[in-house]
Chains A and B, each alone.
Chain A
């Protein structure tokens, strides 16, 4: 045997303790990074809570601790217009969610499972609709709302929000139905099920997670929408909360009711947070459903 001309560099293994230290440092760095992200995302909401409990001039001092003065919250719940707008918002968001889920499921089942030649075109059209900016459709929508006689009614908002929510619910649910094992459906066909029975007895019970996640997204969208809500509603008693908050006035025209607005914002965000926490597990399950074969 002749010596090989090339010798591999010998890599010395470091001591066990140094690897342990390295691992701990990495873990620490990850924690710091997570902390930064959390602060970045949660601080605005925290600041809203802090501000909403401050009075007058205290607002302009950089205190990071809440003053725990709930005057504005009390005022808020004595304000019938605001309470009315909360009811309006709940009605609009719930109806929008329910309608878009019903429409979305029916469309998704057809698009995901039934073969027809125009399927690709329809899917593309749906995607196109969902990329229109709101401002573009605003004037057309206004005409439509007038024509339907829905101007200044909360139901006008339900109709218009469907434009935004149906495309993405359909799109997400189509993906889910496509990934749904075909054999399960064939089994149901052999068991004598109609399309409708397959949908209600087999697909829907198994679609819980994805329904929850798309439903929540639709609800959030409808709850937070501002532009349509501002345009199609004229009177205070028919407004939804985002507009109600936006149009909140102070005691004089020179006073900006910062704390009241913050209190109202915190109040209307709470239902969303509660909703997301309730469905949190299902949403995560929905987002990853079908990723790995169970």
Chain B
């Protein structure tokens, strides 16, 4: 078990910088998830920690020891690959035991360890099979077993579940969470799946263009995102955004936006003017046109059984998604109003940074109290 520390780590290929001065401290036993859009550098960062690619600048320490120039196999890490990367010509047993074989352990010692790990992951009946004879879920278990057998101090997962179908993904997600509870090893997990990030992580690291946008617990990211980017990235379906024009001066602004939106807000802390508002689909409700804060035309209804999504066009180029628990009995192309509570309103300035406003403060405080209690 070990902590992981990154100090202004950067990586560039030629003139192309992929990771720009990332600072991050991961505590011993923590489960950290890297998320971000494709190409944001999350997999690269993981490979830098693993030592599969050398850093261009900065330092990496695992368990308090500098490992920046230590080869991957000596860093005490294990890596689970997206494609599983099982050796196709070896049996499951040899796949799991290959690292020990390379270390030069005695054959019966290897066999004992492989049997132990296989039992833990419930693949002990598959030991003589080859990877191509296994299902996707079984392959993933073997890949985790191969990582586990080395007794790593840090587990690195690179989108391990993205090749599985959704049922299996959920099952494996729970198993990985259980594995973390059982062995308590530090884990770093890269994914683009919202649900995996929110359910598995102690802390989520949101990356954008090789820079950390925000680090925080899933609740912090959901309730108090630092920027429009994080707000749009965490939560599914994503937050609705609309541009607004402002009149007045700091800290009290009058906002005017699409769909007849007119709001008076009082920004606290930051002095800059709001440029965008954001409301989560689950914070919106469908009301009569005149009762809503803004109004638009119902374009489409999606019925998922347990929840429904209404797509409301509030301006020619802006569609708001509304999550409704009960199927609304409204015909398409009807004008509807959208209502939300003050504390569910997010404000972002020109640079995309979130602005606190009078109502949002209480909610943020409430969220952090809840967190402390939990």
Q: A residues touching B (Cβ–Cβ < 8 Å)?
A: 181, 183-184, 186-193, 197, 202, 205-206, 294
Given A190-B52, A191-B73, A191-B98, check contact A183 B89 (CB 8 Å).
no
Q: B83 at interface (Cβ–Cβ under 8 A)?
A: yes
Beta-carbon contact of A192 and B99 below 8 Å:
yes
Contact flags (1/0) for B75-114 with A, using CB distance below 8 Å?
Answer: 0011101110111110000000011001100000000000
What are 5 A-B interface contacts by the 8 Å CB criterion? A181-B85, A186-B72, A186-B79, A187-B81, A294-B132
Contact with A along B115-141 (1 / 0, CB 8 A): 000000000000000001000000000
4 tightest Cβ-Cβ pairs between the two chains A and B: A192-B73, A191-B99, A183-B85, A187-B85
Contacts of B79 in A (CB 8 A): 186-187, 190
Q: Which residues of A contact B73 (CB under 8 A)?
A: 189-193
Are B83's CB and A183's CB within 8 A? yes
Interface positions of B from 52 to 88, Cβ below 8 Å from A = 52, 71-73, 77-79, 81-83, 85-88
Contacts of B150 in A (CB 8 A): 191
In whole Å, how far is B209's beta carbon from the nearest beta carbon of chain A?
24
* A184–B81 alpha-carbon span in the complex (Å): 9
B14 → chain A, closest Cβ, in Å?
Answer: 12
Closest to B73 in A: A192
- A189-B52, A190-B72, A294-B132 as given contacts; A197 in contact with B81, CB under 8 Å: no
B77 touches A190 (CB 8 A): yes
Which DSSP category, helix, strand, loop or mixed, fits chain A's interface? helix
B133 to chain A, nearest CB (A): 12
B267 within 8 A of partner (CB): no
A98 CB, min distance to chain B CBs, angstroms: 22
> Do B85 and A184 have beta carbons less than 8 Å apart?
yes
A202 B87 Cβ-Cβ under 8 A: yes
Tell me the smallest distance from the CB of B117 to a CB of chain A, in Å. 14
- Indicate if the CB atoms of B89 and A206 lie closer than 8 Å: yes
Between B52, B77, B103, B150, the greatest number of chain A beta carbons within 10 A of the residue's beta carbon is seen for: B52
Contact of B81 with A193 in the complex, beta carbons under 8 Å: no
B190 within 8 A of A: no
Flag whether B50 is at the interface (Cβ < 8 A).
yes
Q: Could you say which residues of chain A place their CB within 8 Å of the CB of B50?
A: 190
Chain B residues lying within 8 Å of A183, measured Cβ to Cβ, are 81-83, 85
Q: B72 and A193: CB pair below 8 A?
A: no
- By a CB distance below 8 angstroms, the chain A residues around B77 are 190
Contacts of B82 in A (CB 8 A): 183
Chain B: minimal CB distance from A231 (Å): 44
Q: Does A192 contact B102, Cβ atoms closer than 8 Å?
A: yes
Chain A: minimal CB distance from B159 (Å): 11
B72 and A189 form a contact (CB under 8 A): yes
* A17 CB → nearest B CB, Å: 45
Q: How far is the CA of A186 from the CA of B146 in the complex (A)?
A: 13
Contacts of B146 in A (CB 8 A): 187, 191
Given known pairs A192-B102, A193-B102, the reply for A186 and B88 (CB within 8 Å) is no
Contact partners of B102 in chain A: CB under 8 A: 191-193, 197
Q: Is the CB of A181 within 8 A of B83?
A: yes
Complex contacts, B52 vs chain A, CB 8 Å: 186, 189-190
Bound-complex Cα distance A206 to B88 (A)? 8
By CB atoms of chain B within 10 A, which of A186, A187, A197 has the most? A187
Given pairs A187-B85, A189-B73, A190-B52, 5 additional interface contacts (CB within 8 A): A183-B83, A186-B72, A186-B79, A187-B79, A205-B89
| Bound CA span A167–B102, Å | 33
Q: How far is the CA of A294 from the CA of B79 in the complex (A)?
A: 22
Q: Could you tell me the distance between the alpha carbons of A40 and B71 in the complex, rounded to whole angstroms?
A: 59
Known: A192-B99, A192-B103, A197-B102. A186 touches B81 (CB 8 A): yes
Q: Give the distance to chain A from B140, nearest Cβ to Cβ, in Å.
A: 14
Contact A186 B87 (CB under 8 A): no
For residue A186, give the distance in angstroms from its CB to the closest CB of chain B. Answer: 5
Chain A residue at minimum C-beta to C-beta distance from B52? A186
Residue of B nearest to A185 (CB): B85
Chain B residues with Cβ below 8 Å from A187 are 79, 81, 85-87, 146
Closest residue of chain A to B82 (Cβ to Cβ) is: A183
Which chain B positions have C-beta within 8 A of A184? 85, 87
Give Cα A187–Cα B103 distance, bound, in whole angstroms.
Answer: 15
Minimum CB–CB distance for B114 against chain A, Å: 13
Q: Which residue of A lies closest to B103 (CB)?
A: A192
A206 to B102, CA, bound (A): 18
Q: Which one of A189, A190, A197 has the highest number of Cβ atoms from chain B below 10 Å of its Cβ?
A: A190
Chain B residues lying within 8 Å of A202, measured Cβ to Cβ, are 87
Quick one: which of A186, A197, A206 has the most chain B CB within 10 A?
Answer: A186
Q: From B149, which residue of chain A is reached at the shortest CB distance?
A: A191
Shortest C-beta distance, B333 to chain A (Å), equals: 24
Docked Cα-Cα span, A193 to B102, in Å, equals 7
User: With the chains together, A190 CA to B99 CA distance in Å?
Assistant: 8
Chain B residues near A191 (CB, 8 Å)? 73, 98-99, 102, 146, 150
**Complexed CA–CA distance, A294 and B133 (Å):** 12
Residues of B within 8 A of A294 (CB): 132
What's the Cα separation between A133 and B50 when bound, in Å? 49
CB distance from B291 to the nearest CB of A (A): 42
Q: How far, in whole Å, are A181 and B88 apart by their CA atoms in the complex?
A: 11
Question: How far, in whole Å, are A45 and B72 apart by their CA atoms in the complex?
Answer: 57
Contacts of B87 in A (CB 8 A): 184, 187-188, 202
CB proximity of A6 to chain B, nearest CB, Å = 32
B71 nearest CB neighbor, chain A only: A189
Q: Which residues of B sit under 8 angstroms from A197, Cβ to Cβ?
A: 102
Alpha-carbon distance between A54 and B287 when the two chains are bound, in angstroms: 101
